[in-house]
Amino acid sequence: MIEGRVRRISGPIIRATGLGGAGLFDVVEVGDKRIIGEIVRLEGDEAIIQVYEDNTGLKTGAPAHSTGRPLSALLGPGLMGTIYDGIQRPLELLYSQSGAFMTPGERGDPLDMKKKWHFVPNKSLCEKFASGEKIPASAGLVLGTIQETQSVSCKIMIPPGVKGGDITDISAEGDYTILDTAAKTSLGEEIPFAQWWPVRLPRPSAERLSPDQPLITGTRVIDVFFPLSKGGTAAIPGGFGTGKTMTQHAIAKWCDADVIIYIGCGERGNEMTDVLTEFPELQDPRTGRSLMERTLLIANTSNMPVAAREVSIYTGVTLAEFYRDMGYHVAIMADSTSRWAEALRELSGRMEEMPAEEGFPAYLPTRLAEFYERAGRVRTFSDGEGSVSIIGAVSPPGGDFSEPVTQHTKRFIRCFWALDRDLANARHYPAISWLDSYSEYAEEVRPWWERVNSRWAGVRQQCLDLLKSEQKLAEIVRLIGPDALPDEQKLILLTSEIIKDGFLQQNSFDKIDMFCVPAKQVRLLELIMEFHERSKVCIKLGAPLTKISGTGLKEGLSRLKSTVKNDALDDLDSFEVEMRSSLEDLERSYRTREL
């Protein structure tokens, strides 16, 4: 262990002499309380350290010890349902030790070192081993499983970076702690039940796969208009009160990911309190059990040390990659990357670096890229398939999307869900703007959606074109009023209103409307567009729009989302028959007049 002395203190940035022999990004324990820090720069014999805990009372001349290893996360059974801070300290354990406010230097094992887990070895591996067959100790080899929760089974695998050799011993079925050995190799390596992994180093995979499988969220405006692939990246930018956090909560509850990792990065304490109290009470719609059985929370509130905020997203994505390597589909909710960028800005200022636009460091785009590029759908070393999808909230000051964090984020994500303050003020939720949002995954997921409904791409594009036309007409209406428009253009306004009320708007408190299955999503849109096309024919034959409005179809279409259950789609077919009959009667009457 290399020991140095603190020479200068500037908030969370400390300069220490005597650590020139340490490695970049090594973990350092500073002062008598041994608060945790990380070497971020080396200048000769001097190290610049950013500390992750409150260093009030620290004095120059205090000792600084390098541990010789980078900041790492402990990966193993017991992660699910745990609440950590940015450097993987278990907050519930620390609360029981020191109360509501953590003492600097407080320690807590990331995983329970004494708890025994029931290990079931890989049956086929044991049979090969018993027959005398040589089994190479390769990364990703599944040694066995531990049932971590009723929703998640933790696979015990050989981690990346093993020296090689053959397996010489596999632990028998039984109860073990995470410190015990799961297997041994001919080169003398012992494979433990838990492993350390550097948080800033991406975990490797066998192959990156095409993002052609959608992450189904049950939210219509996302799934149909702006879909996100499994292994994709998305940003939710929006001003205060537009619904970023609530949209992420809805996705976390309803999306078809196997594991959810929620990173509260610099959020206000009351918002994180809501997450910590609500998530354990939420019922997983897939299993009927607590959502926390497949959820991991990382809480870094805005009053916690700013450096820990900076590292929290790396800790979160490392935990996600661990479950990805087991063959799970993982969704990360990062709330919010703007406050993470603000942490970078503060640390950069403390280190006296040259600022770039709006004071952010020049390497902000690089750090954003390093985070988002760790998403992806991959072939694992165990020949399975897993993915990490990243959904990052962005909080631009004043809702200004031209500020640096939003603009740089757009360079590295392919799905942009822009929240609109006017929609939020009008109580239209989710307040995702259909004019400013986009998704570059639409073409990749098109084959999947067309297996659900062959008309998905067609009705989606028709609807988006209609909404753009409505936006242009709305400007004319504001100038001269709606009465000056011909009925064909009034029909565009009417259909757009149905799309907004009956498709885009979704009530998370409605037992039917809170989640919408893919087949129902496309059928709703299909019915609305059929109404529009048939109504156009009636208007061309001379029928006034008031006659079409008088059929009651507008109200009926708007109510379908909350009256037709996900497992009763035949009711949509019945409504379609009624709608066709009503509009065909109207068309027939005006066609007769024309003759």
pLDDT band at 192 (very low <50, low <70, confident <90, very high): very high
DSSP E strands, 76-227: 83-84, 117-121, 142-147, 153-157, 167-170, 174-176, 181-185, 190-192, 195-198, 207-209
User: What was the pLDDT predicted at 594?
Assistant: 59
Range of weakest confidence among 245-254, 297-306, 511-520: 297-306
Same domain as 139, residue 20:
no
More confident residue, 95 or 548: 548
Q: Which strands, in side-by-side order, build the sheet including 190-192?
A: 167-170, 181-185, 190-192
Q: What is the CATH number of the domain that holds 138?
A: 2.40.50.100
In a domain, 201, yes or no: no
**For the chain, how many structural domains are there in total?**
4
pLDDT surpassing 80 at residue 345:
yes
In a domain, 283, yes or no: yes
pLDDT band at 36 (very low <50, low <70, confident <90, very high): very high
Helices 364-372 and 404-412: crossing angle, nearest 10°? 40
Same domain as 549, residue 470:
yes
Mean pLDDT, residues 232-237: 97
- CA–CA distances in Å: residue 577 to residues 158, 429, 553, 587: 59, 30, 12, 15
Q: What is the CATH number of the domain that holds 18?
A: 2.40.30.20
Q: What percent of the chain has pLDDT over 70?
A: 99
In a domain, 178, yes or no: yes
Question: Per residue, what are the HEC states of 430-448?
Answer: CCECCCCCEECCHHHHHHH
User: What was the pLDDT predicted at 595?
Assistant: 52
pLDDT band at 307 (very low <50, low <70, confident <90, very high): confident
In a domain, 200, yes or no: no
Cβ-proximal residues to 312 (8 Å cutoff; 6+ apart), any chain: 85, 86, 87, 263, 265, 298, 300, 340
- The model's pLDDT over 255-267, given as tens digits with 9 standing for 90+, comes to 999 999 999 888 7
Same domain as 216, residue 187:
no
Question: What's the CA gap between 205 and 220, in Å, rounded?
Answer: 32
Pairing of strands 259-267, 329-335: parallel
- The model's pLDDT over 77-127, given as tens digits with 9 standing for 90+, comes to 999 989 998 889 998 888 888 877 777 888 889 999 999 999 999 998 888
In a domain, 357, yes or no: yes
Cβ-proximal residues to 472 (8 Å cutoff; 6+ apart), any chain: none
Host domain of residue 154: 117-193
Same domain as 132, residue 100:
no
Question: What's the CA gap between 534 and 551, in Å, rounded?
Answer: 13
Same domain as 369, residue 325:
yes
Same domain as 497, residue 472:
yes
User: What was the pLDDT predicted at 232?
Assistant: 97
Q: In what helix (H) or strand (E) does residue 464 lie, and over which residues does it extend? A: helix 456-480
Contact between residue 126 and residue 170 where contact means Cβ atoms under 8 Å apart:
yes
Same domain as 268, residue 138:
no
Same domain as 465, residue 442:
no
pLDDT surpassing 80 at residue 539:
yes
Cβ-proximal residues to 276 (8 Å cutoff; 6+ apart), any chain: 83, 297, 299
Same domain as 174, residue 106:
no
Question: What's the CA gap between 205 and 575, in Å, rounded?
Answer: 49
pLDDT band at 73 (very low <50, low <70, confident <90, very high): very high
Same domain as 269, residue 171:
no
Question: What's the CA gap between 493 and 505, in Å, rounded?
Answer: 16
Q: In what helix (H) or strand (E) does residue 318 lie, and over which residues does it extend? A: helix 306-324
In a domain, 432, yes or no: yes
Q: Where does a domain end: 446, 481, 507?
A: 446
Chain mean pLDDT for the chain: 91
pLDDT band at 309 (very low <50, low <70, confident <90, very high): confident
How many other β-carbons are positioned within 10 Å of the β-carbon of residue 34? Answer: 16
- CA–CA distances in Å: residue 266 to residues 91, 340, 514: 16, 7, 28
In a domain, 85, yes or no: yes
* 341 dihedral zone (left: phi>0; alpha: psi -120 to 50; beta): alpha
User: What was the pLDDT predicted at 220?
Assistant: 96
DSSP E strands, 450-547: none
- Determine the residue type at 209: L
Identify the residue whose tokens are 């039917």.
512
Q: Where does a domain end: 172, 193, 214?
A: 193
pLDDT surpassing 80 at residue 288:
no
- The model's pLDDT over 354-399, given as tens digits with 9 standing for 90+, comes to 999 999 999 999 999 999 999 999 999 988 999 999 999 999 988 8
Range of weakest confidence among 93-102, 427-436, 452-461, 552-561: 93-102
Question: What's the CA gap between 107 and 89, in Å, rounded?
Answer: 7
Q: What is the CATH number of the domain that holds 588?
A: 1.10.1140.10
Q: Where does a domain end: 430, 446, 462?
A: 446
pLDDT band at 132 (very low <50, low <70, confident <90, very high): confident
pLDDT surpassing 60 at residue 451:
yes
pLDDT surpassing 90 at residue 268:
no
Same domain as 301, residue 340:
yes
- Give me the sign of the Cα torsion angle 202, 409, 52, 58: positive
- The model's pLDDT over 391-445, given as tens digits with 9 standing for 90+, comes to 999 999 888 899 999 999 999 999 999 999 999 999 999 999 999 999 999 999 9
In a domain, 199, yes or no: no
Q: What is the CATH number of the domain that holds 351?
A: 3.40.50.300
Same domain as 187, residue 63:
no
Question: In this structure, what are the phi and psi dihedrals at residue 574, rounded to the nearest 5 degrees?
Answer: -65, -40
Mean pLDDT, residues 6-26: 92
